[in-house]
Amino acid sequence: MEIIKTAEEMQQRALELKRAGRVVGLVPTMGYLHEGHLSLMRLARKQCDVLVVSIFVNPAQFGPNEDLEAYPRDFERDEALCEQEGVDLLFYPETENMYAGDASVRVDEDALSGVLCGASRPGHFRGVCTVVAKLFNLVQPDLAVFGEKDAQQLRIIERLVRDLNFPVGIIRGPIVREPDGLAMSSRNKYLSETQRKNALCLSRSLEQVAELFGQGEREAMVLREAMANLIRSVPEAEIDYIEIVDDTSLVTVDEIRNDVLVALAVRMGDTRLIDNLVLRP
């Protein structure tokens, strides 16, 4: 496995691979890898000749009061996991190399990014779109894999590819869960033992919604209230949002007639967790 630490070298290697006719797959990450990330690598590995994984904690997608400095990092462990998964190129740049000191160009999306996580994290998706566009230009991937746990991010990136004509196929990677149902996340590390147990309210509320939906309930307000009641009964759980939105436009729906995304964000102490599922009538 080759480790590349500068944008210039990454782009040069990518262009060499393109000229050689190699199919390049990309899995962008912020590191502190877990089984969810590894599942994305395995998906990409099946469809490419050269697998590139990026590890970059992107400051542009963190707000002023968010956990940029505290975000967990363990490059040696990440490197070993990438080697284990057969990664060919590990792109690990410094912030100063990815962003010029006077960088003044950003990539904005203004239809899908103002709701859900975007409502409580202003500027977050501008940072996501900007760094993903940069990674696509540097790595020149034929395909890229993104996880379904970050449902809004996934849909925004699909729109980014469509609207800016990036020649990149986006592959969706299913949510990977712990045995008890908690969606895997690098931020789970922050949870105390009690908070870790209480965090199961996210997946349990989604299970409850799926059960009610299976019984014929189609009123979004009823489903949201059922989720909220379950979560409010859990100590320390503070609801950021619970939304039921059209799966394509992310517009809030009152009655479920087409595919919808059920998404929620909940704080357990200082840790913000997200989860989701798609309901299909």
Instruction: Choose, from 4, 26, 32, 37, the residue flagged as catalytic.
Output: 37
CA distance linking residue 189 with residue 71, whole number of Å: 10
Helix (H) / strand (E) element for 35: namely helix 35-45
Surface-to-core class of residue 165, CB atoms within 10 Å of its CB (0-12 exposed, 13-18 middle, 19+ buried): exposed
**231-258 exposure pattern, b = at least 16 Cβ within 10 A, e = fewer:** beebebbeebebbbbebeebeebeebee
- By the 8 A CB rule, do 215 and 179 touch? no
CA distance linking residue 180 with residue 204, whole number of Å: 10
CA distance linking residue 27 with residue 17, whole number of Å: 17
Q: How crowded is residue 214: how many other Cβ atoms within 10 Å of its Cβ? A: 9
Q: What residues pair up with 90 in beta bridges, in sequence order?
A: 3, 53
Tokens of 42: 């395995």
From the list 38, 35, 15, the residue with the least C-alpha distance to 27 is: 38
Neighbouring residues of 109: CB distance < 8 A, sequence distance ≥ 6: 125, 126, 129, 156, 159, 160
Amino acid at 279: L
Q: Is 37 a catalytic residue?
A: yes
CA distance linking residue 27 with residue 53, whole number of Å: 5
Catalogue the active-site residues: 37
